Structure 1
Amino acid sequence: MMAGGTFSGWLQRCRESRQLVLVIVAIALLLDNMLLTTVVPIIPEFLYDIKHPNNTLSEHLDGPHHASTTPISTTLIPASLDNSKCMCKCPQGNFTNGQLEFLMGTTSTSNQIVNTKNLTSPEELEKAQRHRELIEETVPVGMMFASKAVVQLLANPIVGPLTHKIGYSIPMFTGFIIMFLSTLIFAFGRSYSVLFIARALQGIGSSCSSVSGMGMLAERYQDDKERGNAMGIALGGLALGVLIGPPFGGLMYEFVGKSAPFLILSALALGDGLLQLMMLQPSVVYTESEPPSLKALVTDPYIILAAGAITFANMGIAMLEPSLPIWMMDTMGASRWKQGATFLPASISYLIGTNLFGPLGHRMGRWLAALIGLIVIGFCLMLIPLATSINHLIIPNAGLGFAIGMVDSSMMPELGYLVDIRHTAVYGSVYAIGDVAFCMGFAIGPALSGTLVNTIGFEWMLFGIAILCFIYAPFMYLLRAPPTKEEKKTLIIGEKSSVRYVTYSNDDDE
């Protein structure tokens, strides 16, 4: 009896512990983002191999011939060039009609068109064809990666207000169930459509986990400084998931198989679900305070400014997820594990940045941390296309991850602070907006990356998003001292008094 009473007392203390809630939220974000990024080095090659079962991509990556040769020349050939004007012949004889059609630019891929003068052997022709197919592969891969963020974006406005009615624990547990199902579909899916559904389904689970988790932390940590520290740690869990995901996926895919990483993730997700069931005890909890309406939050310019910073900060890395592995395969002949490992510096530095700027952002001013972060992101994005080997990507990727960590760990607690001082301290809807902002970056980025790579090229795509970051950064100064609820009321009352005074004066003159 004594032992049973001691255990139940310990269990009750655990359930009341803020730290344990923080651990559960961090684990949920970690697993969600591990699944998010594990697919990055797997999907592009897997989809290519589905289309080319007799000529898989692994035969060409990091091979002696591919690794030693330079990327295909980017000299442009006008698409209007007629076959009759082409004088190109190879030692083996004339090109076939199909080869000529490709060489003449009828399937133009912008600045990636090959120079016919350099193609004098079947091996080079095959490499040119593979180059074109890899460029075209960016579009379906980008659409698949974006589907998760698009679905999450649509789910957030539903999940946010729902947490006001039933509490945070049931949506949190629902997020685990959906993620578990999504992971199993990824493990056994063998077609583009099935994998697309798995990725989209993950978006619903992510919405439940992210909105509920952040709202739960904001509710448990009322002090602004403590909240910033707690959210920095939770975002550290997110960063750890992003950190582990790509190399984990790349290594497991190369040495074990496609299903293995997803089966391991599903087992980890099951453990997290059991922990939630035991400690959070999912049940309906009614909110006493009247929550702010979603419309009031969306029309608050300061909340939109903070959310916009999250969008622009994450858009660059979101564009890189589908396009960088393909660009590396094309220009460097990078193998699977290298494609996964290239995101490692960004993930490590993001982990450092979120934990460092949770408390430091409160001290130096979160607006300033976000402003500096956006500028650093812009410079790092401009350096990435200049790389000629995987080693050259280390510093810009590390700087990119650290700067995104600065922005995210500053603006997430800033959203809670803005609700505290300008609205009512109920957090589901504001973190739905924060998650929408995050998803906007990861929806727009991958969806546009394929089209942009095909039209303006990989380099100009990154230069463009860098310029947007530079333009947006100065707006962070407006978050330096946002007016409180009382100041808003005083301003409104003052304006009304001024109107009444003017009306009275006009009547008196008459």
Structure 2
Amino acid sequence: MTLLPKMTKSQGIGLLFVVLILFIDMLLYSLLIPIVPYFTETLKPSSTMMGILFSSYAIAMLVATPIFGPISDRIGRRIMLLTGLAGLAFSTLLFAFAESLPLLITARFIQGLAAAATWPTALALLADLFPPKSRGAVMGIALTAISSGTLLGAPLGGWLFEASGHRTPFLAAAGFTVLNILLVALFLQEAPARSQSEQLRVSKFLRHPQVAYIAGIVLLAEIALCLLEPTLPNFLTEKLSVTPAMIGLLFAIMTLAYGLLAPVAGALSSRFNPFLLMFIGICVLAVFIPALALANTLWQASLAMALVGAGVGFTLSPTLATLGEIIDRSGSGAYGIAYSLFNMFHAVGMVAGPLAGGILTDILPVSTVLFVVAGSILGLGILLYVFLRLKQGTAVHAGSHDINM
């Protein structure tokens, strides 16, 4: 089994552009993190306003994704990608020169709108270019690009900030985004836009049992991942006396494990039952989340973070290729709608995860919260899998290539 399938020149160029687009998107998302103390000191925002600043990205993505994904099916991927990249460049420049919190929130909101245009369209472009047997591997590579951008954004932003001020990280990222726009405009080729007869009814697609199962799996994995962000730092600081730098390293380890496992799981999804792989990933995630509460040393915490990240990557990667296969069977080619769904539940998780973490930790100790979350994920994951089995009416055979199960 090879993680990188053989591809034509046009496929290779398309994959390269998707990797660059998703990488810069998440690089910009995490670039703000090390600069937050500067804005906190200069603008004196309340905790509520800072919460609004960070949640505005996910809210914008949630609102705009169901609009932009179907549009990309009608007008083509290239135009939508260029529109999203232009929005990213504009929002990044707005970050660089914003001198008030409302402007920062506006920049973050526009960034979320731009991500709603680029994410589902980039993934749909891969589905256009690659056949089903290769799609799992390339979707895993796309997820690795996402995790790599997340991993590098914060340290790169911190280094540029310390080197030459708070505007430099955003100006450098804006320049990289503009370069990306030029490359896409000059070199990207795509399949023609879909005719009206090829378009897909969203309501019918959402009622599909396999789609409902994937939506639930994505939501569980994203909530679990995003719930850790506001709860773990203080918990690990108090328990293990780690520094902020070490907290950053622990989350980097989790992100790295996510990125490394995603292509592996994607490649496996073209050879084995993808729904079973998703279920195994959710079970692994649920088993290892409590390890975060039980860790008594930095090495144990590092291992637990790596296992949790690997569980999320293993869970999410098969969902992307499988959504594409469901679209293939419908005969519509409307991949924009399929990946809009992924993006929507990703955004819901980004909003609901931190909110759930904050509410639960106000009621229970963090260690108890981690066990509660693990039990909930495992129980809901089992219910989702039983639901799918009942809906399909046939047994799941490990190693089956039949997506109909």
Q: TM-score, normalised on structure 2?
A: 0.84
CA distance in 1, matches of 2:78, 2:216: 28
Superposition pairs of residues 85-484 of structure 1, within 5 angstroms = 137=47, 140-221=49-130, 223-253=131-161, 256-280=164-188, 285-287=193-195, 289-325=197-233, 327=235, 335-387=243-295, 390-422=298-330, 424-474=332-382, 475-476=384-385
CA distance in 2, matches of 1:256, 1:335: 24
CA distance in 2, matches of 1:288, 1:431: 19
Q: 2:32 aligns with which of 16, 36, 39?
A: 39
Contact residue 170 and residue 282 of structure 1 kept, 8 A? no
String of CA shifts for 1:280-301, please: whole Å, max 9, x gaps. Answer: 2799845375211111112222
| Counterpart AA for 1:21 | G
Q: Does 1:23 align with 2:37?
A: no
String of CA shifts for 1:72-95, please: whole Å, max 9, x gaps. Answer: xxxxxxxxxxxxxxxxxxxxxxxx
String of CA shifts for 1:380-419, please: whole Å, max 9, x gaps. Answer: 3323344566544311211121111111211111111122
Q: Report how far residue 35 of structure 1 moved.
A: 1.5
Alignment CA distance shift 1:430-1:454 (3 Å):
same
SS of equivalent to 2:199 = coil
Alignment CA distance shift 1:248-1:24 (3 Å):
same
| Counterpart AA for 2:120 | V
Equivalent position of 1:75 in the other structure: none
String of CA shifts for 1:113-147, please: whole Å, max 9, x gaps. Answer: xxxxxxxxxxxxxxxxxxxxxxx94x554443222
Equivalent position of 1:49 in the other structure: 41
Deviates more, 1:225-234 or 1:462-471: 462-471
Q: Report how far residue 478 of structure 1 moved.
A: 5.7
CA distance in 2, matches of 1:249, 1:218: 32
Deviates more, 1:244-253 or 1:293-302: 244-253
Alignment CA distance shift 1:286-1:241 (3 Å):
same
**What root-mean-square deviation, in Å, do the aligned CA atoms of Structure 1 and Structure 2 show?**
3.1
Structure 1 unaligned residues grouped into runs of 5+: 1-13, 54-135, 485-510
CA distance in 1, matches of 2:57, 2:50: 12
Percent identity between the two aligned chains: 27
Contact residue 155 and residue 207 of structure 1 kept, 8 A? yes
Equivalent position of 1:82 in the other structure: none
Contact residue 65 and residue 340 of structure 2 kept, 8 A? yes
Q: Report how far residue 230 of structure 1 moved.
A: 1.6
Contact residue 246 and residue 344 of structure 1 kept, 8 A? no
CA distance in 2, matches of 1:390, 1:51: 35
Alignment CA distance shift 1:307-1:143 (3 Å):
same
CA distance in 2, matches of 1:315, 1:349: 18
CA distance in 1, matches of 2:104, 2:237: 22
Equivalent position of 2:398 in the other structure: none
Contact residue 149 and residue 440 of structure 1 kept, 8 A? yes
| Counterpart AA for 1:268 | F
Alignment CA distance shift 1:153-1:337 (3 Å):
same
String of CA shifts for 1:417-452, please: whole Å, max 9, x gaps. Answer: 122224633211111111111111112123444444
CA distance in 2, matches of 1:191, 1:463: 40
CA distance in 1, matches of 2:244, 2:169: 14
CA distance in 2, matches of 1:463, 1:192: 37
SS of equivalent to 1:363 = coil
Alignment CA distance shift 1:31-1:303 (3 Å):
same
Q: Report how far residue 351 of structure 1 moved.
A: 1.3
Q: Report how far residue 457 of structure 1 moved.
A: 4.6
CA distance in 2, matches of 1:210, 1:15: 23
Q: TM-score, normalised on structure 1?
A: 0.68
CA distance in 1, matches of 2:34, 2:233: 7
CA distance in 2, matches of 1:283, 1:230: 17
Contact residue 134 and residue 270 of structure 2 kept, 8 A? no
Alignment CA distance shift 1:40-1:384 (3 Å):
farther
CA distance in 1, matches of 2:176, 2:60: 24
Alignment CA distance shift 1:339-1:156 (3 Å):
same
Equivalent position of 2:401 in the other structure: none
CA distance in 2, matches of 1:249, 1:387: 30
Contact residue 184 and residue 266 of structure 1 kept, 8 A? yes
SS of equivalent to 1:436 = helix
Contact residue 128 and residue 191 of structure 2 kept, 8 A? no
If each structure's helix is expressed as a fraction of its own residues, which one has the higher value?
2
Alignment CA distance shift 1:386-1:483 (3 Å):
closer
| Counterpart AA for 1:25 | V
| Counterpart AA for 1:187 | A
CA distance in 1, matches of 2:32, 2:299: 23
Contact residue 291 and residue 424 of structure 1 kept, 8 A? yes
Contact residue 143 and residue 447 of structure 1 kept, 8 A? no
The structure having more radius of gyration, on CA atoms, is: 1
Contact residue 15 and residue 280 of structure 1 kept, 8 A? no
SS of equivalent to 1:157 = helix
| Counterpart AA for 2:122 | G
- The count of residues paired between Structure 1 and Structure 2 equals 386
